[in-house]
Chains A and B, each alone.
Chain A
Amino acid sequence: MSIILDKVSYVYSEKTAYEIQALKNISLKIQDGEFIGIIGHTGSGKSTLIQHLNGLMRASSGGIYYNGQDIYDEDYNRKELRGKVGLVFQYPEHQLFETTIFADVCFGPKNQGFSRKESELKAFSALRSVGLPEDYWYRSPFELSGGQKRRVAIAGVLAMDPEVLVLDEPTAGLDPKGRNEILDQVARLQRERNITIILVSHSMEDVANYVDRLIVMNQGSILFDGTPKEVFAHYQELEAVGLAAPQVTYLMHDLSQYGIPVCGMATTMEEAKQLILQAFAKK
């Protein structure tokens, strides 16, 4: 199972004074079970790209194939695709509307045509998966804190049993504790439910800590695509487009410049710790 993007381009407000080319010839292959991070400057096309994955936006040119089927085919069921590729938007306020959290999470599976009972079972397991305490379930979604709203929004999509879960900046505006909780939860989902995760983020630390593969977007094109280590090795080019590597990468670089023999580069705190310990063990 995979998602393949073949030379996808997208132009906003075509043929007007506001015309913007948001995606330029994007070709991409996303394998089953991957944990992918997408980073890029504001306006680099990240959000536009992920909205193509579940067919919400239609490419101006190019093709998208989900499990080998062309999603732009006349008789392709795009509504079903939205259940398979679950997309969680950045602002949970945009999707919460029901009187209770539990009812809100049931919205997705109900739309897929499941009975009330099945929907409730799915909502139950989704809310469990995101780790929201049960005494919240029958409260209004508008009473929640930012982090809790995010969880409910993720649960609302998770209840549809997606094969791919796309998260648009799930940690924006959260404090460090809430951020780690959400990301740990997402990483656990990937392991337990074996779903593909695509994480759009602004935080280099977040992606370095969690993802297996990192895609860097710049001005509508893919700049780098590889493991976080491979990508962050290009930190000078990243800086040129307004991005940066994680703080530890810089720290390790500085350490070796000051004569401490740490060999190799690190993108996470854990890696850095190992390398520093190794360096001192040699001495």
Chain B
Amino acid sequence: MLRDITIGQYYPADSVIHKLDPRTKLTATLIYVVSLFVFRGMAGFVAVTLGLLIIIRVSKVPFFYMIKGLKAIMIIVVITVIFNLFLTPGEAIVTFWKLKITWEGLKNAGFLTVRLIYLILGSSVLTLTTTPNQLTDGLEKALKPLNKLHVPVHEISMMMSIALRFIPILVEETDKIMKAQLARGADFESGNLVKKAKSMVPLLVPLFISAFRRANDLAMAMEARCYHGGEGRTKMKPLKYKKRDGVTYVVIAAYFAVVVSLRLVL
């Protein structure tokens, strides 16, 4: 049941996007996200959609796999749509009681939905095609200049990679604990809110204990291997830009230029 969570999960496949340097993908995703908030009007919409479709196609990740990740944000989307529909001032199309749906509201709601969904889809391309390790590696290297400002870049990225690494472990652990308690007749679904919250105790106590134990073991194992932070630490696979990264930078710059000029011209 819990295995089906896709957020932050890597999907192995053999595509150009999988092979790109994580820094390239991070920058590209950032530019893509900015472009989502820059575009305006139908022409911009078409450009952004085309961009996204091409990226998904090239990444070789099955489309339905990405859609699964959208379920989590559906509630947010519905709430924004409702607020935009009813609260945007302008020319009314339908009115009931004190509420009215305006033409501007409809337009706003539509574009906002598109922006939110594209945002999630675009960033899930990043996480689905990049292993957590590559991602933090890329982040560490990209943020390295901040070290001069005494920002603990290595420590932050190490914490991030540990946290990411622990997500699947803890999900699996939760699944096992749930099963062990279900086998003893526990009930996690029925009852009112108070009863449901109480039924979480048999799940959360073993989960926390195990998380602390694991954290402790990991700290020991790291110390046993003389971990002492980032200073002087070298990498087994240092990140290096290849030709395809250069090409990607050019493509993404061209894409951004198109979206911006479509906004300025139209």
Q: A residues engaging B (CB < 8 A)? A: 12-13, 16-17, 51, 54, 56, 79, 82-83, 86-89, 91, 93-97, 107-108, 111-112, 142, 156-157, 160
Can you name the residue of chain B whose Cβ is closest to the Cβ of A55? B182
Can you name the residue of chain A whose Cβ is closest to the Cβ of B213? A93
Q: Which residue of the partner chain, among A13, A16, A156, contacts B184 with CB atoms under 8 Å?
A: A156
A–B complex contacts, Cβ < 8 Å, 11 sampled: A16-B65, A17-B11, A17-B12, A82-B185, A93-B210, A95-B202, A95-B206, A107-B202, A108-B184, A112-B185, A157-B184
A56 to B1: give the CA distance in the assembly, Å. 11
Can you name the residue of chain B whose Cβ is closest to the Cβ of A79? B185
Q: Which residue of the partner chain, among B173, B180, B186, contacts A111 with CB atoms under 8 Å?
A: B186
Contacts of A54 in B (CB 8 A): 183
Contacts of A51 in B (CB 8 A): 179
A97 touches B179 (CB 8 A): no
B178-210 residues at the A interface, CB under 8 angstroms: 179-187, 201-202, 205-206, 209-210
Bitwise, B8-22 to A at CB < 8 A (1) or not (0) is 000111000000000
B110-127 residues at the A interface, CB under 8 angstroms: none
B176 touches A91 (CB 8 A): yes
A51 to B180: give the CA distance in the assembly, Å. 10
Contacts of A88 in B (CB 8 A): 183
A157 touches B13 (CB 8 A): no
Q: Which residue of the partner chain, among B13, B65, B184, contacts A107 with CB atoms under 8 Å?
A: B184
- Given the known interface contacts A16-B65, A142-B209, the answer about A89 and B185 at a Cβ–Cβ threshold of 8 Å is no
Q: Is the interface of B mostly helix, strand, loop or mixed?
A: helix
A96 to B206: give the CA distance in the assembly, Å. 7
A97 touches B183 (CB 8 A): no
Instruction: State how many angstroms separate the Cβ of A111 from the closest Cβ of chain B.
Output: 3
Can you name the residue of chain A whose Cβ is closest to the Cβ of B190? A79
Contacts of B11 in A (CB 8 A): 17
A89 to B177: give the CA distance in the assembly, Å. 9
Instruction: State how many angstroms separate the Cβ of B53 from the closest Cβ of chain A.
Output: 21
A102 to B205: give the CA distance in the assembly, Å. 17
A97 touches B185 (CB 8 A): no
B183 touches A157 (CB 8 A): yes
A223 to B132: give the CA distance in the assembly, Å. 39
- Extra contacts, 11 of them, besides A93-B210, A94-B180, A112-B185 (Cβ < 8 A), are A79-B185, A83-B185, A93-B209, A94-B206, A95-B177, A96-B206, A97-B201, A97-B206, A108-B184, A111-B185, A111-B187
B181 touches A160 (CB 8 A): no
Can you name the residue of chain A whose Cβ is closest to the Cβ of B13? A17
B45-75 residues at the A interface, CB under 8 angstroms: 65
Q: Which residue of the partner chain, among A79, A83, A96, A97, contacts B187 with CB atoms under 8 Å?
A: A79
Complex A-B, nearest 3 residue pairs according to Cβ-Cβ distance, in ascending order: A111-B185, A97-B205, A95-B180
A160 touches B209 (CB 8 A): no
A56 touches B209 (CB 8 A): no
Instruction: State how many angstroms separate the Cβ of B40 from the closest Cβ of chain A.
Output: 38
A108 to B182: give the CA distance in the assembly, Å. 9
Instruction: State how many angstroms separate the Cβ of A199 from the closest Cβ of chain B.
Output: 16
Any chain A CB within 8 A of the CB of B237? no
Instruction: State how many angstroms separate the Cβ of A32 from the closest Cβ of chain B.
Output: 21
Instruction: State how many angstroms separate the Cβ of B86 from the closest Cβ of chain A.
Output: 40
Central interface residue in A82, A111, A156, by most chain B CB within 10 Å: A111
Instruction: State how many angstroms separate the Cβ of A135 from the closest Cβ of chain B.
Output: 24
A87 touches B183 (CB 8 A): yes
Any chain A CB within 8 A of the CB of B233? no
B130-181 residues at the A interface, CB under 8 angstroms: 173, 176-177, 179-181
B183 touches A56 (CB 8 A): yes
A86 to B185: give the CA distance in the assembly, Å. 10
Instruction: State how many angstroms separate the Cβ of A101 from the closest Cβ of chain B.
Output: 14
Any chain A CB within 8 A of the CB of B3? yes
Central interface residue in B11, B181, B185, by most chain A CB within 10 Å: B185
A137 to B187: give the CA distance in the assembly, Å. 25
Contacts of B187 in A (CB 8 A): 79, 111
A1 to B199: give the CA distance in the assembly, Å. 33
Contacts of A89 in B (CB 8 A): 176, 179-180, 183
A87 to B201: give the CA distance in the assembly, Å. 20
Can you name the residue of chain B whose Cβ is closest to the Cβ of A56? B179
Instruction: State how many angstroms separate the Cβ of B240 from the closest Cβ of chain A.
Output: 27
